[in-house]
Structure 1
Amino acid sequence: WRNTETSPETLSDSQLRGLGIVEGADGTINFESGIVVTGRVEKILRRDGKLMLIGFSNCSAKQGDRILFDPTWGTFDMAVGERISSVFNGAADKDAYNQIALVPKDRTIKVPSDENRKKLENLYAQVRDIRDRKVGCDRLGEIWETQQAEHAGDWLLSMQIFEILDEAGEQNDLKQKIVTFLNQKKLTNKDISTLIEWGFRLVTYHKVGLQTAAHGA
């Protein structure tokens, strides 16, 4: 976070008050990445003395002009510190979607072994490269099949592939397979369902924003 040199998960209650984060009051958190979270602080949760989660109502989360969370979407539970990575099965993608996350109540998500983690992170790196360079979409099907075969418990990579395909308007058959997979994942856990719904909502919101910008150009 900005305005503090202390690791967020180790902040004391008095340090949080110094940053304007107090239960029952409006507060703002500025991330080094440029993400800004603003809302009414409803709860501050700790585990073993470490800050684990801050719950907001009437919350907005933005990165520049990009809206990551809108107050009309309901309450927002924000993970704090290194625990964010565990929400997404250890994937090391540090984009905005990972930096701010709704946190499942079930904390028993399995983290892949080092070898499997490296393989999964390699898939994330390939997808990130395709997204950033806007070339290589034809490889996404193979990447997704590998994820399905070797990392079936992961769902975030599927969401990222879906977003790329949706923005590009390509490979509708693959998109439908991914939607089917994600909808099946939603049935396994209520909290995962919330995360996936949020992901679909972000994809739709950003697509509408891009279309609006194109029409206004």
Structure 2
Amino acid sequence: MSLLARRATAELVGTAFLVIAVVGSGIMASRLSPNDTGLALLENSVATGAALVALIVALQPVSASFNPVVTLVEKGLGLVDWRTAGALIVAQFVGGLLGTVVANLMFGLDAVALSSHTRMGPGLWLGEVVATVGLLLVVFGTVRSGRADRVAFAVGGYIAAAYWFTSSTSFANPAVTLARTITNTFAGIAPASAPWFVVAQLVGGALGFLLVRFLYPLVASHSSEASGTAAADRKVIS
């Protein structure tokens, strides 16, 4: 199997499991804590952050971005070519949709049910910009400063926290956003709301890219895993 096929498969599987964690824990949380939205969100955020850490640790040696915005920034930094970026992004979107279908079926729901959860407004869009900039800073700041072995814990911790400090509960991922349109559950987002979230994420991606380039113009060469900075960067997640 070619390296690109292995990387695309890792992105598909990783994004699928990430979405299963997001949607599945959202369903479980709403059932366990039906009268306490705050507690349900806590349960959802902890499960998502923990799953992210595990998935990144497991798949980072192959590919573990799980996020089209992260992959686009990797392309902007010269870590992947357009062919690779395109294949990984397609895999991320397909994996996200499959993850939602699996999560819905696990909990006895229809495989596909469009969400009725409207998430609209400038405050929420700003929240997505902030969430995405922060995510990119955590991912690439950790890696480009020579600490790629810690990126899983940095990202998992950031996402768990960003559920709480951003108005949008930090989607910060176009593939996950699209996937969450086909579940009419706690974690869902109405299809009409999703494009605005994606636009905000892309804006955040552009700002995050510029910030990373400014703060970390060079990749550290003193890390414990420094067998090639491009290779280390290329293995990073979101």
TM-score tier, shorter chain, comes to: under 0.3
Q: Which TM-score applies when normalising by structure 1?
A: 0.25
Return the structure number with greater strand share: 1
> 1 or 2 for the larger relative contact order (CA 8 Å, sep ≥6)?
2
User: Which structure has the greater CA radius of gyration?
Assistant: 1
Return the structure number with greater helix share: 2
